[in-house]
Structure 1
């Protein structure tokens, strides 16, 4: 799965890589968590790519009360085209999710031992040396009875490659720049036409860096959470012992909710 990620590239780099005409300034974000806003890129009505903030945790349009619905942070790429929660978004609202990398936790064979956190980033400097990578995502707009709207989204995952599989069995689907247009083209490209893109990244595409458990706590949102440590070192630090869930309000105890 993908339950935390980061976006620290400069806004102008994001705009250039994703061919955006305009993008508002935003600060680097080191610990993006569910319920917080995430930047997505999609094909706008005029055929040009646009950027939009969506709440991380997809809510299908048919849901009556989001408060009673399970938070859909990830969607399994193998079944997204058939599952009622993702089927419409997979056909009509595919998006790109810019990222600098993601976090994952490995559970040792000794169940009593603490999980080891990893910062997983592009090994070769990312797209054009910007440090950027792109995840496949889906977007939905939920409309309340009073007409209020909430844009929500999720990240598609796939069975991990051998390298990341040593840490966790799932990983985000990576969309390469040459495939951006095809993935975003929901007008002529049905899910079956882009199914070949839903593959794990090649071994060596990512570099997995062991880090301390500071990342476990949503309020820890500075670059220090990405500092390398020796595996098994850094537990019981300023972060919580278990991975903390994001504040349902989206604030997470910090300013990450106000991305723009």
Structure 2
């Protein structure tokens, strides 16, 4: 489902996408990004240029009427998003990219004890050995809150896991190859072609077991992605 991921620094994003530095230092690399955090997001600006902006991870559609944001709106199943009211407007014309180094999944078939001795699912860090920086297919929206504040938010798309990591978790983010970035970001791309872009998502991923320290969003350091001995099933 991808409830945590590793985000790059703004400098790494600007270098990879060849965009000029705007406000350097807005983001340092985070090793444990959790839903509702402010995250870096790439979208097209009004002139059609690529811009890096902050967004709340957890989509709030523009038509949302309640004062409290929707829950569990940080990811959408790509197979269903086009038909769901929460996602369809953003999927149709407000698509973006969420830069990442990798993400975490918890294997429901492997139980281990955490630091307090409680049984929990074994976490894994998943990434591409071929590319240190990844682009997660996502959607965005701008919502006006009850006090008139404009909040930009985003949600990533998920798909069935790539064969190499399916034993760890059955779902994964939709991660696009560079040749699909332009089509994905263009708001004029037809819905059928959007689905074709999703179908051509990358599958060159691997993973390794990591410490259960990642279970707490308060932990945020490079040690979280270090491999540990994989528990036996």
TM (norm. structure 2) is 0.89
Is 2:207 the counterpart of 1:201? no
Contact 1:19 1:49 in 2 (8 A): no
Partner of 1:34: 35
Instruction: State the Cα distance separating 1:20 from its structure 2 match.
Output: 2.1
Which moved further from structure 2: 161-170 or 28-37? 161-170
Is 2:19 the counterpart of 1:5? no
Contact 1:210 1:228 in 2 (8 A): yes
Moved over 4 A (4+): 109-113
Structure 2: runs of 5 or more not aligned: 113-117
Contact 1:103 1:117 in 2 (8 A): yes
For the residue of structure 2 that corresponds to 1:51, the secondary structure is: strand
For the residue of structure 2 that corresponds to 1:178, the secondary structure is: helix
Contact 2:142 2:150 in 1 (8 A): yes
Which moved further from structure 2: 10-19 or 32-41? 10-19
Instruction: State the Cα distance separating 1:113 from its structure 2 match.
Output: 5.2
Instruction: State the Cα distance separating 1:160 from its structure 2 match.
Output: 1.0
Instruction: State the Cα distance separating 1:28 from its structure 2 match.
Output: 1.3
Partner of 1:19: 18
Give the RMSD, CA atoms, in angstroms. Answer: 2.0
Structure 1: runs of 5 or more not aligned: 234-260
Distance 1:109 1:132 in 2: 28
Distance 1:146 1:113, change over 3 A: closer
Distance 1:77 1:59 in 2: 18
Distance 2:137 2:69 in 1: 26
- The structure carrying a bigger strand percent of its residues is 2
Partner of 2:161: 160
Distance 1:197 1:142 in 2: 27
Distance 1:109 1:208 in 2: 15
